[in-house]
Amino acid sequence: MQYKKTKMLIVDKAHENDEYGVVLIADIAAKVIAKNKSLDRVNVYEIMNKPAISVHSTMYIRYCARLLTRMNISRCPVIDEGKLVGVVSLTSIVF
């Protein structure tokens, strides 16, 4: 993995009826580094959060902000017709 100034990796669906997953920097810190595991020996599926909390592309911003804050997350995938179309964050909503 290379540093690309991202805070979340989205794990693609394994098949059409599957759900997206996410891996956050906090997941890597808590589930790999804090447990003294090697990054080279950990598979993404072992540390990812799945199913990912996501929003539909037509969701109103205020509802999206409410969902993110109630779920105590700062960002999530944006889905349209079952396909990933982007990522929304509290920062992008505010600014």
Note the pLDDT of residue 7: 85
Q: What's the half-sphere exposure (Cβ side, CA atoms, 13 Å) at 60?
A: 3
What is this structure's pTM? Answer: 0.83
Note the pLDDT of residue 55: 98
Kindly report the CATH number that applies to the domain delimited by 8-94. Answer: 3.10.580.10
Note the pLDDT of residue 48: 96
Residue 82: CB atoms within 10 A of its CB come to: 9
Each residue's pLDDT tens digit, 18-60: 999 999 999 999 999 999 999 999 999 999 999 999 999 999 9
Question: Per-residue pLDDT for 1 more than 90?
Answer: no
